[in-house]
Amino acid sequence: MTEDKQQRIERRRSGINSAKIATVIVMAGLLLSKGSGFIRDIVVSMKFDETYRDAFSLAFTIPDLFYNLIIGGAVYSSIAPYMSGALAVHEEKRGVRTISIFVSVISVVMIIVCILGVVFSQPLYQLYAMNKSEIDPETLTLAASASKLLFPQIFFMMLAALCMGILNSYRRFNQTALAPFLYNVFVILAIFILAGNSQTKLMLTTGGILIASVIYFLYQYLIGFDKLKQFRFIFKPRDKEFIKLLKRALPIMFSTSVVQINVIVLNYFAGNFDKGSIYALRNASTIWQIPYGIFTVGISTIMTPNIAAAFEAKRYDDTSKLLSSSLKSALFIAIPCGGFMALMSTDVVKAIYQWSSSYTDENASMASVFLIGYCFAIITHSVVHLYNQAFNSIGRTKIPLFAGCIGLVSNPLVCIILIKLGVGPIALTIAYSVTSILQMLVLILLYRRDKKIAPAGVWKTILKSFLCVIVMCVIVFVVDLFLPGEGSKVSQLIIISVKGIIAVVFYFGVALLLKMEEATYWIDRARNKLKGVIRKTHAS
């Protein structure tokens, strides 16, 4: 073997190890973010009564809708691959200039949207609630007033997303990983200190959240100042490179909007069932997105700029391996999470949400039904997300949009069919899972047309993981017969924790017997992390 070839192999191994370490760091940050998000919801229920709690939740609806429809995940999915590609071919100046124009134009658009949102907040909320007679007029007025401080918030959230996309292009994952957690901490502090049952306190709370978003942006800007300082305000919307990037970004923006529209569709159909169905659907949605949001999103955050750089440099073998390893890692975690949540759905819902008598067993039962329907989506949507990011990374952004449009048609259609067949409320989340299956198949077939970048060895991981899950579920089912999730809140938490530990032990145990590389990887990462903690403890 020549010296040059040996050096290339060593560099590749070093890059893979760095990517694995970065993935763990990003996942840790997402875990902290999700955990702090649950604490935020608990504090909201403590500080507001029902009217102000509903007004607070409703106040985010329209600003979030505008953010998701206009920007959403398109910021990161556009900037990180483009800048990573420019860096891979040593064209940093070209990338900086184009991203500067992109940031400038998008910022102007968002400023206009925020101003219009503040000025027309009252009519916007009246329009939104036109056919929602269950919303109290006082709640609606309070929400519209509170939203006046949340429209400017989405501008700073956009700037923070821009900073994250740029910094991750430079592989600064460890610096951006904790940013969402810090944002949630400041939001919790704002709610805990400022919230109360008056319009003034509600406005102060949303004002505090606006300040949290400013801190969220400034934190990322300051830690990445050495890279971010080179970006300038350049308003040239007719620039050829900007138009090229915009054409790449627009399909991502539209496909992100499809996700938001499908959520609205499910909420619409949920209104046809018993009272509390919409809230139960939201609970179930939040739960299934815990493993998805931590593991799949964490993996894709690292994968996106790396695939973009490899593809731009024409390292197609690396492009294939990056997607293969990402799919295997995500599925190895998603499959047991889906199995455990389907089997222990009621216990999981109660452990997370039942902290007082106001959340009844009936509420938990309704949410658990929705959660069962979502469980398969934990697996399929992970595949959809990773393929979407892979297509975005290589510049083929119209394909995720095409798959999204399939979902836009199939989701309401399957809902209508299943509801007419008398399936019941679970029809909604089954429809969502069926839709994600269709999208997954389309994305896989279209991506695999390009043989040189197609992933390999994924089916082997899937089959072995399902075998591990079957063993895991049988053991957990038997344990559940002798140890049902009943009793006090402490008992609930202890029992679900015991079942979770048993599930992990048996799943990983069977995986090791089957010699799955993914099991060895996660165990090694956990062991190394534990050794690091022990060393720090002894040193102190």
Burial of 384 (0-12, 13-18, 19+ CB in 10 A): buried
The pLDDT value recorded for residue 8 is 46
Q: Cβ distance 271 to 135 under 8 Å?
A: no
Write b or e for each residue in 157-179: b if 16 or more Cβ atoms lie within 10 A of its Cβ, otherwise e.
bbbbbbbbbbbbbbbbbebbbbb
Total residue length of the chain:
540
**What are the percentages of helix, strand and coil residues in the chain, rounded to 5?**
85, 0, 15
The pLDDT value recorded for residue 502 is 95
The pLDDT value recorded for residue 487 is 78
pTM: 0.76
The pLDDT value recorded for residue 7 is 43
Could you tell me the residue ranges of all domains in the chain? 27-237
Q: Cβ distance 395 to 248 under 8 Å?
A: yes
With CA atoms as reference, report the closest residue to 34 among 260, 263, 259, 293: 293
Write b or e for each residue in 219-249: b if 16 or more Cβ atoms lie within 10 A of its Cβ, otherwise e.
bbbebbeebbeebeebeeeebebbeebbebb
Give the separation between CA 468 and CA 93, rounded to whole angstroms.
49
Give the separation between CA 283 and CA 300, rounded to whole angstroms.
24
- How many beta carbons lie within 10 A of that of residue 100, not counting itself? 19
The pLDDT value recorded for residue 323 is 92
pLDDT in tens, 139-179: 778 888 888 888 998 889 888 888 887 887 777 766 677 77
Question: 3-state DSSP call for residue 4?
Answer: helix
The pLDDT value recorded for residue 256 is 72
Q: Which residues contact 166 (CB under 8 A, 6 or more apart)?
A: 79, 80, 83, 99, 224, 227, 228, 231
Phi first, then psi, for residue 397 (nearest 5°) are: -80, -15
Q: From residue 354, how far is each of 50, 147, 501 by CA, in Å? A: 16, 29, 21
The pLDDT value recorded for residue 282 is 77
- How many beta carbons lie within 10 A of that of residue 128, not counting itself? 17
The pLDDT value recorded for residue 379 is 93
The pLDDT value recorded for residue 25 is 54
The pLDDT value recorded for residue 19 is 53
DSSP labels, 286-350 = HHHHHHIIIIIHHHHHHHHHHHHHHHHTT-HHHHHHHHHHHHHHHHHHHHHHHHHHHHTHHHHHH
The ranges of the chain with pLDDT < 50 are 1-17, 133
Q: Cβ distance 345 to 400 under 8 Å?
A: no
- CA torsion, ordered 72, 76, 78, 81, to nearest 10 deg: -160
